[in-house]
Amino acid sequence: MKKQMLMVSLAIWAVGVCAEKKEAEMEKAVFAAGCFWGVESIYQQMDGVIETTVGYIGGRTENPTYKEICYKDTGHAEAVEIVYDPSTVSYETLLDIFWRAHDPTTRNRQGPDVGSQYRSAIFYTSPGQKAAAEKVMVEAQKKWKRPIVTEIYPAAIFYPAEDYHQDYFFKKGIKKSCHFLRD
């Protein structure tokens, strides 16, 4: 009986260690490319993307609300925080989707959405992400006639948006995103 209990305890411990190791192997990416609902829906469909959270980043206000970022000068952008498995999808692939999912040449605007909360920005979490973002931006510029105005900043505190914004398209049964991927 003691041997069985020890074996069960060891098995539970091993599962916990494996889960912690797997979680430690995940990485985060944070992108702002206009309305966060559409950006989130694109990344949710990708292999290797484990989790997405929409929220606010890059501003001055602590714990901002959607109403505040829309009607006050908080400095925050609508963004998507992506937890991904780098053994399945690379950061460069996520960047490729970022550049294709919005117009990085319009300042503080995406389509009909206007305001600094809709700006184009990459919030890097490591020096490697910063270098990759800068490199890929040079390549992306070749596809645009106007200059890219995307901001590249170190990631600051990411504030998750209110619950009703999370998985918005899925909850509403919306099949078509307001964002589309360009070639």
Catalytic residues: 35
In sequence order, which residues have a C-beta less than 8 Å from that of residue 179 and are 6 or more positions away?
A: 33, 34, 35, 38, 39, 41, 42, 101, 102
Gap between the Cα atoms of 83 and 28, Å rounded: 5
Query: Pairing between strand 49-57 and 77-84?
Result: antiparallel
Q: Does residue 121 contact residue 99 with C-beta atoms inside 8 Å? A: no
Q: Does residue 25 contact residue 86 with C-beta atoms inside 8 Å? A: yes
